[in-house]
Structure 1
Amino acid sequence: MGMIETGVRVLRPEGFKHMAYTSWGDPHRREVVVCVHGLTRQGRDFDALAERLDHDLHRRVLCPDVLGRGKSDWLDDKSGYTYPLYLADMAALIARSGVESVDWVGTSMGGLIGLMLAATPNTPIRRLVINDIGPLVPWDGLARIGTYVGEDPLFPDRAAAEQRLKERTATYGPMPAERWPAFVDHSTRPDPQGQGLRLAYDPAIAQAFQAIEPGQPIDLWALWDRVQVPVLVVRGAESDLLPAEVLEEMKRRGPGCQTVEVPGAGHAPWLMSFDQMAPVLDFLKGHG
């Protein structure tokens, strides 16, 4: 049935907020995949993968814009851009789906949200795909992201926005050329003063990120050790957020994991070309 844009109201201390999401496939399907994006991105990054999951695997696919991104509401209380509240938002989305369990594909921040949910007792996650993040996130990679997260540049036109986006996403590896026009459209929003375009996120999402103690990695090994569902980890071969040694440790402990490495990509692979999507599709079929 293609794609529709919809949303769900999620409860925050300041009141209900609209979390936008795209829904792909027949809404009556009981096999559901939730795809969640990275820190500064939005749900339309998964258009190519959602199309495949719909057409090839006959899954219903839900791709939310985490609050403060894309077409979702921004928060008045900027301290609310935190993982515990994101987990509650995703629980509301899963409840909205009407199914008891879902498969999860998460890139970077979305992978950490999926990890946290999968480690929770009575988790609704059945299979977990983590794209280029792990339970130990090095400070060097965090510091690199900190150099740009929260930027709010004003682009005079679409060409200027595309150029900046190509610079900012260079580490992701090559994107299929036909995907660029839609990518730029979904990654930008009109400037409120009508002067041009801005990035499609609330710059205040940087506040929680900047609260990380300088020099310290994010350590979630205790959560990883509690995960009991099958896991596939995708790693960009040049990633600075998921070092090879962390991936090796992930294989040895906790639930263990299947892995695939994407050559020519850093953080984080696009999952837009078929060669990158194929291992994810195979894993979610249950053949992994």
Structure 2
Amino acid sequence: MPTPDGELWQDIFFAASDGLRLHARHYPATEARGRPAICLPGLSRNGRDFHDLAVSLSTDTRAPRDVYAIDYRGRGLSAWDKDWENYTPLIELEDTLDFMALAGIHQAAIIGTSRGGLIALAMAALRPGAIGAVILNDIGPVIENRGLARIIGHLGKTPTPRSWSDATALVREMNERDFPAVPKEQWEEIARALFNEENGKPAPAYDPNLAKAFEGIDLRQPGAEQWGAFTALYPFPTLTLRGENSDILSEDTLEKMAELHPNLETATIAGEGHAPMLKDQRTLETISQFLAANDPSRGR
């Protein structure tokens, strides 16, 4: 479906199996030659995080592809769920699969940031036919407790800024230490992805009840490791990105992933933490080359 002149994406609203109104963005390629890509964001994030990547992939002259960026329930432009217990990776996987069935998508390239990567692991185990290739953005079978504690500490507690200039300053202040490579002019773009907009001002982009799903977690205990689940990715070409300053995916875990997976590539994103923003040209090119090399008509 072509977009209106000058627009880079279409907004798609659809109903989940329980009737909740959900949202996704579709970045259509004029003549798609590569497999479609499904972008799955982090825990409290939304599909806007993938804008630069989606534009790059959908307009790539070598292998243009349709790109879809999902807003989980309770995030972005998707409706908030009255039952916070539904904010789980399994239900978010079910919603994603519902969308893929609605759009007629299978054997897609699944691009998962953090939480989205965990959903990709579950998809590989439960619906492998939906996957053709996988990109994990700063996530693996072991989640470092230090990073998890940081994320939980902010969840539902970040104040809503009064203006976009305040939002830009807040987001930059919270993140620039771990993301020194991000240009100053990009912080406003990042802030506008992080928050919704209402009446011209920033508004919450996720349901604060999402934090309830993490109540009672004892961060003094070692986190659960998912090496068994990771084996479900072995049949699929996989690219794992790690932020150089990540506190979620360690270098040791990344090395072990590369040792175990028979067809896994890795890339470290310099000057970025958890999770890489997927905005710099080098990262966009790395992703584009990986996907083009593993499209059905090319293969390895």
Fold match by TM threshold 0.5 = yes
**CA deviation after TM superposition for structure 1 residue 35, in Å:** 0.8
Separation (CA, whole Å) in 1 of partners of 2:16 and 2:248: 30
Contact 2:90 2:122 in 1 (8 A): no
Contact 1:173 1:266 in 2 (8 A): no
Q: Which residue of 2 aligns with 1:156?
A: 162
Q: Which residue of 2 aligns with 1:134?
A: 140
Separation (CA, whole Å) in 1 of partners of 2:264 and 2:166: 41
CA RMSD of aligned residues (A): 2.3
Q: Which residue of 2 aligns with 1:212?
A: 217
Contact 1:236 1:269 in 2 (8 A): yes
Q: Which residue of 1 aligns with 2:297?
A: none
**CA deviation after TM superposition for structure 1 residue 208, in Å:** 1.5
One-letter amino acid matched to 2:55? E
**CA deviation after TM superposition for structure 1 residue 189, in Å:** 3.3
Separation (CA, whole Å) in 1 of partners of 2:248 and 2:93: 21
Contact 2:107 2:133 in 1 (8 A): no
Separation (CA, whole Å) in 2 of partners of 1:214 and 1:55: 43
Alpha-carbon distance change, 153 to 195 in structure 1, aligned in 2, over 3 angstroms: farther
Q: Which residue of 1 aligns with 2:12?
A: 6
For each residue in 1:242-288, what CA deviation from the matched residue of structure 2 results, as whole angstroms up to 9, or x when unmatched? 00000111011244511001111111111111111111110000168
Alignment of 1:182-201 (within 5 A): 182-189=189-196, 197-201=202-206
Of 32, 35, 43, the match for 2:36: 32
Is 1:146 matched with 2:149? no
For each residue in 1:63-122, what CA deviation from the matched residue of structure 2 results, as whole angstroms up to 9, or x when unmatched? 011111110110100111001101101111111221332111111111111122123354
User: What secondary structure is seen at the aligned counterpart in 1 of 2:290?
Assistant: helix
Segments of structure 1 that go 5 or more residues without pairing to the other structure are none
Q: Which residue of 2 aligns with 1:247?
A: 254
Separation (CA, whole Å) in 2 of partners of 1:186 and 1:86: 20
Q: Which residue of 1 aligns with 2:241?
A: 234
Segments of structure 2 that go 5 or more residues without pairing to the other structure are 3-7, 295-299
Contact 1:66 1:86 in 2 (8 A): yes
**CA deviation after TM superposition for structure 1 residue 152, in Å:** 4.7
Q: Which residue of 2 aligns with 1:23?
A: 26
One-letter amino acid matched to 2:39? C
Alpha-carbon distance change, 121 to 34 in structure 1, aligned in 2, over 3 angstroms: closer
Separation (CA, whole Å) in 2 of partners of 1:211 and 1:113: 22
User: What secondary structure is seen at the aligned counterpart in 2 of 1:19?
Assistant: strand
Q: Which residue of 1 aligns with 2:293?
A: 286
> Could you tell which deviates more after superposition, 96-105 or 19-28?
19-28
User: What secondary structure is seen at the aligned counterpart in 1 of 2:39?
Assistant: strand
**CA deviation after TM superposition for structure 1 residue 198, in Å:** 3.4
For each residue in 1:143-196, what CA deviation from the matched residue of structure 2 results, as whole angstroms up to 9, or x when unmatched? 1111101125132222212111223333345335554444333322357xx896
Q: Which residue of 2 aligns with 1:43?
A: 47
Identical pairs, percent = 30
Q: Which residue of 2 aligns with 1:90?
A: 96
Separation (CA, whole Å) in 1 of partners of 2:205 and 2:195: 4
Alpha-carbon distance change, 28 to 78 in structure 1, aligned in 2, over 3 angstroms: farther
Query: Matched residue pairs, number?
Result: 283
What TM-score do the two structures reach when normalised by structure 1? Answer: 0.90
Q: Which residue of 1 aligns with 2:268?
A: 261
Separation (CA, whole Å) in 2 of partners of 1:261 and 1:147: 26
Contact 1:5 1:22 in 2 (8 A): yes
Contact 1:152 1:203 in 2 (8 A): no
Contact 1:102 1:126 in 2 (8 A): yes
One-letter amino acid matched to 1:53? L
What TM-score do the two structures reach when normalised by structure 2? Answer: 0.87
> Could you tell which deviates more after superposition, 170-179 or 69-78?
170-179
Separation (CA, whole Å) in 2 of partners of 1:240 and 1:186: 22
